[in-house]
Structure 1
Amino acid sequence: MKKSYLADLILLGVTFTWGATFVLVKEAIDTMPPFTFLAVRFLLGGLVLALFMAAFFRHTFKGMSKEIWLAGTWLGFWLFAGYAFQTFGLMFTTASKAGFITGLSVVLVPFLSLWLLKHPLKKKALLGVAIATVGLGLLSLNRDLSINVGDLLVFCCALSYGMHITLVGRYTVRFHAMPFALIQILATGVFNAIGAFLFEDYTTAWSPQVLLDAWVLSALLICSVIATAFAFVAQNQFQKFTSPTRTALIFATEPVFAAATGFLVAGDRLTAAQVFGCLLILGGMLFAELGGGQDSEPHAEAAT
């Protein structure tokens, strides 16, 4: 199997973990404030990854130079910004509109890649993006199509996620995946901790009634280990073998997995239009994957 196809499958698995944990996170943040939850999630995930590296890949700590710290913190900032803009945007807009606008990062990434990475715009990838965008609209939008300040904030979220995906494509070929992911995770945790200190009652994180709540505890453990430590190492390791545009298309399937999990676990129901939207998202991804030709595939050697 070509490295690019294997990388895409691994990234699809990463997206599945993010989508599948959506129900857990949604229930958890009803008890623990969002920034506080994210701070604990990412800092705990960083601790798990650091202990794993210390036990099995101790030599990778030697590669933690000033350059990797600066790059990892910069990417951690964009990841945090995505969560922050989405959190505040949800205060002023609907969840359905926020889901669609967040998914627009799939549209932004090809142009950010052209600007920052000089990757050419591939016609088949752009058509796949367009198909997936229509699918996101059918899956996420309701009849209220007016624009408000919340929508603008969530668009900044989409831009932040797009920047993170694009910059991973720039830096991931330079650094070993584990320390690079570790720095991003820790930086995201610290930025969220600052947000919790400024905007939330972060002391709730230490309340036994909150911390030992079944939803909160299970969400923190699963998200910290699988959806953070494992997932971001996998992204940093395998995105070097594909392109940011294809990565964005793969990540666009997150709401599909979230919807499927909601249907199976929480009893959510999808309309016919939403089911068709899911199929269009998957179709757009498959069109870009199988439509012929790798979308500006990198050929750099992996860092060791």
Structure 2
Amino acid sequence: MRKYIGEIGLIIIAIIWGSGFVVTSISLDYYSAYQNMAVRFLIGAAILGLVFYKKLKSVKKETMIKGVILGAILYLAFALQTVGLQFTTPSKNAFLTAVNVVVVPLIGWAMYKKRLDKHEVAGAVLAMLGIAFLSIRFSAELNIGDILSFLCAFAFAFHIIYTAKFVSTEDPIHLTVVQLLTAAILGFIVLTFRGELAIPMVDGAVFSLVYLGVFATAIAFLLQTVAQKFISETKAAIILSTESFWGMVLSILVLGEVITVKMAVGAALILLAILISETKPRLFRTVPLREKA
């Protein structure tokens, strides 16, 4: 079981984020996207800060710097996704953001000369195609929202890359708390400039913010940081990309959404992506040449 601790943690995150689609849509009926981001990061940082208060007394300066870097990248990724969504369709935004699953191994190769694992790269491509089938409902035109969504994919990819790099030497709890606090501070700075600091307290909407702050932020990002100690960046990106799949499953189970052929194909491709990256099947068996007599 310990062997698969990384995979299990990331699958739990993907399920939480998949369930978060509905909760986020409820929250956005009452709060702006920027208020949503700032509050969820603040709640996440506060929850983890309270739980691990004693442990946080020993945070090293180097860990804080790395946590600030992660927090800045994280907020940038969410901001690009949010702004991009204002100019493009949700399906395009979801698909272009998911391109990070292919970008991660390429960045790892370019920055650290990491060998490209053919099974993980194949899994990454299949995962992206699966997400395309689940979300594709768009025309071929390109606009500023598409560009921002594409840049968002790079930001999320760098977040996964640097999380893996930093957590190899730093405490995952320290890293998570510092990065969430950094993202929250950046969020409230942006709210100040936008004049959106007045956040209404509406019963149903507050519940959605609490859910996003506790589960989709505090628990999810702590699990991600811990899980990435045990798993490669590319495999992490592939498993995290299944949030679209889990969102579909929960929509079918909870909301009674009807399964279409396109949804079934997308789900099958995503599951095949995980299977290939995990089992690494030998697709081509090398047959030795006969020696000449």
Q: 1:149 aligns with which of 141, 144, 147?
A: 144
- 1:200 Cα offset (Å): 5.4
Q: Note if contact 2:133-2:266 (Cα within 8 Å) is conserved in structure 1.
A: yes
- 1:270 Cα offset (Å): 4.4
For 1:148-187, list aligned pairs within 5 A: 148-187=143-182
Segments of 5+ residues of structure 1 without an aligned counterpart are: 294-304
Large movers: runs of 4+ above 6 Å? none
Partner of 1:38: 37
Matching of residue 287 in structure 1 with residue 276 in structure 2: yes
Q: Note if contact 1:68-1:175 (Cα within 8 Å) is conserved in structure 2.
A: yes
Which deviates the most, 236-245 or 218-227?
A: 218-227
**What is the total number of aligned residue pairs between the two structures?**
282
Matching of residue 21 in structure 1 with residue 20 in structure 2: yes
Matching of residue 213 in structure 1 with residue 208 in structure 2: no
Q: 2:65 aligns with which of 65, 70, 74?
A: 70
Partner of 1:61: 57
Q: Give the secondary-structure state (helix, strand or coil) at the position aligned to 2:87.
A: coil
Q: Give the secondary-structure state (helix, strand or coil) at the position aligned to 2:271.
A: helix
Deviations 1:220-262 (A, max 9, x none): 2222222211221111112111100000000110111112223
RMSD: 1.7
Q: Give the secondary-structure state (helix, strand or coil) at the position aligned to 1:86.
A: helix
The one-letter code sitting in structure 1 at the alignment partner of 2:27 is A
Q: Note if contact 1:21-1:219 (Cα within 8 Å) is conserved in structure 2.
A: no
- 1:191 Cα offset (Å): 1.4
CA distance in 1 between partners of 2:73 and 2:152 (Å):
9
Q: Give the secondary-structure state (helix, strand or coil) at the position aligned to 2:228.
A: helix
CA distance in 2 between partners of 1:290 and 1:200 (Å):
51
- 1:292 Cα offset (Å): 5.0
CA distance in 1 between partners of 2:230 and 2:114 (Å):
14
CA distance in 1 between partners of 2:259 and 2:92 (Å):
16
CA distance in 1 between partners of 2:142 and 2:257 (Å):
27
The one-letter code sitting in structure 2 at the alignment partner of 1:76 is G
* TM-score, normalised with respect to structure 1: 0.88
Aligned pair in 2 of structure 1 residues 60, 136: CA closer, same or farther (>3 Å)? same
Which deviates the most, 242-251 or 222-231?
A: 222-231
CA distance in 1 between partners of 2:24 and 2:96 (Å):
19
CA distance in 2 between partners of 1:245 and 1:2 (Å):
20
Matching of residue 106 in structure 1 with residue 101 in structure 2: yes
CA distance in 2 between partners of 1:143 and 1:72 (Å):
37
Partner of 1:121: 116
Q: Note if contact 2:49-2:56 (Cα within 8 Å) is conserved in structure 1.
A: no
